[in-house]
Amino acid sequence: MKHEKIYQQETLQINGEHVIIEGPVSEQAFQGLIMDEQLTAFRPPKEQLKALKEIATLTEARVFIVTNKNQLIGYVTYLHPDPIERWSMYPKENILELGAIEISPDYRGNKLGSKMIRLSMQDPHMEKYIVISTEYYWHWDLNYSKLSVWDYRKVMEKMMKAGDLYPASTNEPEILAHPANCLMVRIGNDVLEKDIELFDKLRFL
């Protein structure tokens, strides 16, 4: 499968400053960027910046970033599911997992996550893919947000809805480990029915 991509960009005004959402970006787009020190959800900022650069080199991957001048304040990644996950057993290449999304606490409340996801889905080539996101409550920033697990789940659902990802049932053990966990799915308009059937079988092994 040829993983075609169309670059998208959107400029926003937040607190009188120009904030840019763009992607899919290449490894070169990170040159000169400084990672916001509060982006620590997955690993220390410098290590996460290195990881984003590596992901951007993958043929299938899509990395969207949010920047304020030379500061990277948010990102979302799409790539093939991790080999240790059930979803990697899907036998074709037209599957992407929204692997990570993070916005600096200083810029939360501006719907940047939703806007980033929405922009990423405007590329018509995304209609060829099954896009999934595995939502585990232990990855959520419950301490900072002060939200309950269920209120945070509502926030995540609303954000994913911006990209037309909706909850889908599954018997995957980690999803079933807590009732707030969920699988979010978007089936592109150009995905073949036989591919949808393959994916549906994978949801219930």
Per residue in 66-85, pLDDT tens?
A: 999 999 999 999 999 999 99
**What pLDDT band is residue 146 in, cutting at 50, 70 and 90?**
confident
CB atoms within 10 A of CB 55: 18
Backbone phi and psi for residue 97, each to the nearest 5 degrees, phi listed first: -110, 130
CA atoms within 13 A on the CB side of 151: 7
Peptide bond into 83 cis (omega under 30): no
Min mean pLDDT across 10-19, 96-105, 143-152, 165-174 is at 143-152
Residue ranges of domains in the chain:
8-203
DSSP string, 87-117: GGG--SS-EEEEEEEEE-GGGTTS-HHHHHH
pLDDT tens-digit series, residues 179-192: 999 999 999 999 99
Q: Which two tokens stand for residue 111?
A: 């719907």
DSSP string, 19-76: EEEEES--GGGGTT-EE-TT--SSS-HHHHHHHHHHHHTSSS-EEEEEEETTEEEEEE
User: What is the C-alpha end-to-end distance of the chain, expressed in Å?
Assistant: 26
Share of the chain above pLDDT 70, in %: 100
When the pLDDT of each residue in the chain is averaged and rounded to a whole number, the result is: 95
- Does the pLDDT value for residue 51 go beyond 80? yes
Query: d(Cα 63, Cα 75) in Å, to the nearest integer?
Result: 7
Question: What are the Cα distances from residue 150, in Å, to 91, 160, 173, 186?
Answer: 34, 15, 20, 22
Q: The domain 8-203: what is its CATH number? A: 3.40.630.30
This prediction has a pTM of 0.94
Please compute the mean of the pLDDT values over residues 112-141 and round it to a whole number: 95
